Amino acid sequence: MGDPVAEMCDQLVKAVNVMMDAESSQIYRLEALKFCEEFKEKCSFCVPCGLQLADKTQTAVVRHFGLQILEHVIKFRWNNMPQQEKVQLKDCAMGLLSTGTYPILEEESHIKDVLSRIIVEMIKREWPQHWPDMLKEMEALTSLGEAQTELVMLILLRLAEDVITFRTLPTQRRRDIQQTLTQNMESIFSFLLAILQIHVDEYRKLVNRQWLYAKAHCRVGVATLNTLAGYIDWVALANITNDNCHLLEMLCLLLSETELQLEAAECLLIAISRKGKLEDRKPLMVLFDDVAMHYILSAAQSADGAAICNKSSPTQPVGVGVVETHYTFLKRLCQVLCALGSQLCSLVGSDVEVEVPANLSKYTEAFLAFTTHPSQFLRSSTQITWGTLFRHEILSKDPVIIQMTIKYFRATMTNLVKTGFPSSNDSPSCEYSRHDFDSDEDFNSFFNSFRAQQGEVVRNACRIVPLEAFQIAAEWLQYQISTPIDIGSTVSKTAEGLCSILSPSAVQWDAMTFFTESVVGKIFKNVEDEKLPVDQGIELLQAVLNYNTRDPLILSCVLTNVSVLFPFVTHRPHFLPQVLYKLFASITFEVVEESKAPRTRAVKNIRRHACSSIIKMSRDYPQFLLPCFDMMYNHVKKLFSSEPLLNLLEKCALMEALVLISNQFKDYNKQKNFLEELMATVAARWTSDEMRHVLWDPALFLDFVGADQLVAEGTEHTTSINRSRLSFCVYTILGVVKRARWPADLEEAKAGGFVVGYTPNGAPIYRNPCNAQVLALLPNLLALIRTHNSLFLPENMCRLSETFSKAYDMIEVEKNVVLGLPQPALDIYDPPVYKTHLERMQGFFCTLYDNCYHTLGKAGLSLQQDFYTIEGLAEQIVGSAFVSLDNVPDHRLRTMLHILLVPIAHSLKS
């Protein structure tokens, strides 16, 4: 009878080969796997078989399986093994470390991995109680060669990961091992640094003479740095800064070694990013010394040059490409500088008395180099640190930071320009973007966040040098105004000769406008009134007002600049009519006059932008606009008299602006009369017999809006005018309820007739000048809400025509908001906005439903006691807003909860 171990080994070898053979059938592979698993679970001589299969004379897959057997024994049978067998297995495993592997460059990485796992599993069970000399034995192994040294590093790293990072041990064992590691950390670090020094020195000696030998030492260096990284994150900071920060010094020196620099940067980053007591972190400031800063800057410069290489392939023209390893190193180095800046901001001005480094200028210049790097990712990585520096109470006043702030502004002028799309080749950033982003949409989403970051940093920087920032913004604005429009190769689909969203002029104007918006808003907060550059601001505003363009994308930027510079007009009131003329002209903007085609989104945005600007001015400067009220009112009436000029949203926006300014009448009767006149047409239509019948009867309502009609695409839907007028009524009621108010000053409110009494505790009771009008319109509004809820009843659902059977479904905008999806295409501003009859009906129902609840939700805050004292109010609300809720879809209930219940609860509370 033969040796059972040898026979079993032969069978296991065959089984492993079957499992790994691509030609094996699924049935044979599963049978082989079952045989191997049953062997590991049940066989009594796993250890001798595992050792025999792990012999380096076997193939790599067989050796790996043999080592897996030993790992399985240690994991699942160790506690039941006699002590003698444990000692024997441990000795055999250490023998495998000593002589059981091939040289470092020949051995398979998965063999090294499983072998290190075996040792770590024994350490987790035996150290320190039953294996007190483990660390000494590991140290002794390193004298046997590079392969053994690498294995020791892998063992120490995995031990730290299992104990500290992943915590794969029972609590008590983990505490024992962690405590012992901590007690021995000084010697462990000395050991690791000594190993690193030895092999780095050998690598440097041999790198230009005997590359294979040098590569072996390099491999050990990389493994040692990886092991250090696993410990630096959690050991006491004293271990890192020990011996006058010798570790940090070594890591800085290694930044110049191409083969080791990435791992060195990883270690450095982890070390500098450490939190803890400020006094423990104080030694980290040694990295601002000349030597450390020199190596960091030199490494950055050399890596920057090496990150780009020439490339040529059959599918791509000769050009440049990103070298991944060097680019990754650049990212790590950028993170190192960011972390260094964070430590600087934490320590300077704190109780540990750290002075501003003498090398602050060298540091900020290096940091600025990353901010101006072609890689958009690197640029964005610096923003948080810049913001922290500019907000710092002490550093922000340092002359170096003050000068650097101006340089940052100049860099931001370039960084705000949206270039670098992966699909393009019009910028050095494109090649880096192809490495960092999967698509243009991915890049676009990133850049929007990046731009928002920059805006925040620019606003912080304006606190330091507001006038200089304004000067830079003014120069850029003047330059854009004087520069001819360049539409580039991406021509707009709207009309010939217009910019698309990616045209050179469009992206430049967009970037300049964002910068100006970020800067000018802060100058009025950070500069005293007598020092404000009013003359220059008015000069800029005049240049903007005189700039004429029919390009909607450029005009949108022009309008933003008008709004941004408007505060200067408060110092020169005679310019107000020019501003209003510019805005009113833009409200009726058209690219192609007399065109019946649907307007593009860009054109719609211009008109909406102008309306929003007028509302914002009326909200923020109502007293200032009051002298122009009559002029504005007459102009609005003139626009309203021509039906096709404005859509309902534009009409409502202008009415809101007038209501906001009318709040400055500070005369109850005058404002009440104005609101009655403003709402006369709406009130007459809303309270008419026809409208009452429509609003109170679901069947009549569906017929009125045309939802029960069959309509073919391409034909006109005759009831669209009914929907428009109905929506206009609700929008108008909402606008008045939202905007009409009494004076904030009590004395002015009393003098104007807005105060009607006092509460028992002495608080004034106000009356809103829109009370009478709104209360007269409220019954039909409640009826509309009840009818809308009733539309979801089965008998009314069946009234919908086939064309509009999905009229109550969620619209795409709602879905995107809920799912958090970004805007889709990058050219959404170009195509005309064609909507199907169904899409228009869906939008109508969705908006009408929301606006009804908005109105009801704001009525309490606006009308106050006149609303809450309505006879039978609770019954009316229950009989409208809470009717047929079992049938109302969840996405509609969400609107009711968020818009109606929260404002009403707030009103009752206040």
Show Cβ contacts of residue 313 under 8 Å, excluding neighbours closer than 6 positions.
Answer: none
pLDDT digits 0-9 by tens, 576-628: 999 999 999 999 998 876 555 677 888 889 999 999 999 999 999 999 999 99
pLDDT tens string 405-452:
999 999 999 999 999 999 999 899 999 999 999 999 999 999 999 999
Rounded Cα distance between 840 and 711, Å, is: 12
Express each pLDDT in 490-530 by its tens digit. Answer: 766 666 788 988 899 999 999 999 999 999 989 999 999 99
Please say whether the beta carbons of 351 and 393 come within 8 A: no
Band (pLDDT 50/70/90 cuts) for residue 902 is low
Q: What is the mean pLDDT of the chain?
A: 92
Peptide bond between residue 573 and the one before it cis (omega within 30 degrees of 0) = no
Distance (Å, rounded) from C-alpha 335 to C-alpha 779? 63
Is the pLDDT confidence value at 388 over 90? yes
* Domain assignment present for 890: yes
Residue 428 belongs to domain spanning: 286-309+320-459
Residue 182 has pLDDT above 90, yes or no: yes
Q: What is the pLDDT of residue 314?
A: 39
Look at residue 317 in the predicted model and tell me its pLDDT.
Answer: 41
Q: How far apart are CA 749 and CA 755, in angstroms?
A: 6
> Does residue 335 form part of some domain?
yes
Q: Is residue 413 part of a domain?
A: yes
Mean pLDDT calculated for residue range 671-691: 96
pLDDT score at 491 = 65
Domain membership flag for residue 302: yes
How far is residue 564's CA from residue 568's CA, in Å, rounded to a whole number?
9
Tell me whether residue 725 is in a domain. Answer: yes
Residues 52-63 have pLDDT tens digits of 999 999 999 999
| Residue 504 located in a structural domain | no
Phi-psi region of 778 (alpha: psi -120 to 50; beta: other; left: phi over 0): alpha
Residue 787 counted as domain residue:
yes
Q: Which of 459, 494, 525 is the last residue of a domain?
A: 459
Are 542 and 583 spatial neighbours (Cβ–Cβ below 8 Å)?
Answer: no
pLDDT over 70, % of the chain: 94
**Domain final residue pick, 410, 433, 459:** 459
Residue 153's closest CA among 202, 186, 106, 196? 196
Residue pair 803/838 in contact (Cβ under 8 Å)? The answer is: yes
Q: Of 435, 459, 483, which one is at a domain's C-terminal end?
A: 459
Whether 363 maps to a domain, the answer reads yes
Nearest to 77 by CA among 28, 42, 108: 42
* pLDDT tier, 729 (very low <50, low <70, confident <90, very high otherwise): very high
- Phi then psi for residue 566, to 5 deg, are -60, -35
Give this prediction's pTM: 0.88
Provide the number of structural domains found in the chain.
Answer: 2
With 90 as the cut, is the pLDDT of residue 168 above it? no
